Amino acid sequence: MRFSAADSADQSVLVTEVGTRDGFQVEAEFIPTESKAAVINALIDAGVRSFEATSFVSPRAIPQLADASQLMDLIERKPGVRLTALVPNARGAERAAAAKVDMMACFVSASESHCQANLNKPIERALADVAEFVPIARQFNIPVRGAIAVAFGCPFEGDTPVDSLLRIADTYHELGVRHLSLGDTTGMATPPVVERAVDALQRRFSDMEIALHFHNTRGVGLANVMVGLQMGIREFESSIAGLGGCPFAPGASGNICTEDLVYLLQESGYQTGIDLDRLCEVARQVESLLGRGLPGQVMKAGQRLRKFTLDGARRAVG
């Protein structure tokens, strides 16, 4: 496997930050809207250009995201920054359009069990909901991203058959959706599983842009990123400081960490346009906001060539 992009004409990778949606949604205590906006604005200042900022889901389902409209109002928008919001149905799409989102995201689980747990409906009904709201997005010239949850494995059913992915992607494609995200909801992806799924989708849908969304539940999230890069994927979703975890899936833990992902990409010769040092500052701010340590590693260790002085360093004795 080639680990450098130095000889590649396409060295630019889009990092989509999902922490304020996928990460904050599992927090028990409500995070003030102003604090959420401050995190997003700081990330924009650090060079992040793509966000899944919030979700226009029912406040009863996820109280932490009940402030979606207010949050969108507080974000300091800048040219070139894409603010995406997750929408579950037509009502959510109407609210998202009113909030002037740049992209709407929908998701359908690849297994019936997870679809029932996560959306309280079967796959066919979930796809029908997508069909209802896509025309609303089109009316406002807002592109739609179609996500597939448990794309690499389901905690209730085991391996996800490739045919299940193709079935959902087929429906997305028929509805005019050209952005596809594969979600590793509980960190069940491994390099061979990723390669098999991505290859099948690339062969079927040459006109769809594919993004990958990994969790680091079993410690191989960044290894899966490397497989995606070798297969030509140029968008990855991650969460600041490693926040996250699906509240409706047993064993789910945090997403791959944004600053760790950016470090990997930077060291492998890819370009993100993100200032890694400033990104690490935001990660530490998020730790302070939540009042606990988070999984991110680069924010603790620093970059590879960070240098220290001997003054005050512990020394071996004897």
**pLDDT tens per residue across all 318 residues of the chain:** 455 554 455 899 999 999 999 999 989 899 999 999 999 999 999 999 999 999 999 888 889 999 999 999 999 999 999 999 999 999 999 999 999 999 999 999 999 999 998 888 999 999 999 999 999 999 999 999 999 999 999 999 999 999 999 999 999 999 999 999 999 988 999 999 999 999 999 999 999 999 999 999 999 999 999 999 999 999 999 999 999 765 555 555 689 999 999 999 999 999 999 999 999 999 999 999 999 999 999 999 999 888 777 887 777 765
The catalytic residue among 115, 154, 246, 257 is 246
Find out whether 213 and 255 touch, Cβ atoms under 8 Å: yes
39 part of a folded domain: yes
Structure tokens at 136: 């609303």
Among 282, 290, 231, which Cα is nearest to 257's?
A: 282
Structure tokens at 281: 């500052």
162 part of a folded domain: yes
120 part of a folded domain: yes
Please confirm, yes or no, whether 115 is among the known catalytic residues: no
Q: Which domain holds residue 205?
A: 14-301
Q: Helix/strand/coil (H, E, C) string of 90-112?
A: HHHHHHHHHCCCCEEEEEEECCH
25 part of a folded domain: yes
310 part of a folded domain: no
**For the chain, how big is the Rg over CA atoms in Å?**
19
CB pairs under 8 A, 24+ apart, for 116-125?
117/156, 117/248, 117/249, 118/149, 118/246, 118/248, 118/249, 119/88, 123/168
226 part of a folded domain: yes
Give the CATH number of the domain where residue 271 resides: 3.20.20.70
Number of domains in the chain: 1
198 part of a folded domain: yes
184 part of a folded domain: yes
pTM of the model: 0.93
How far apart CA 219 and CA 224 sit, in angstroms, is: 10
Find out whether 127 and 107 touch, Cβ atoms under 8 Å: no
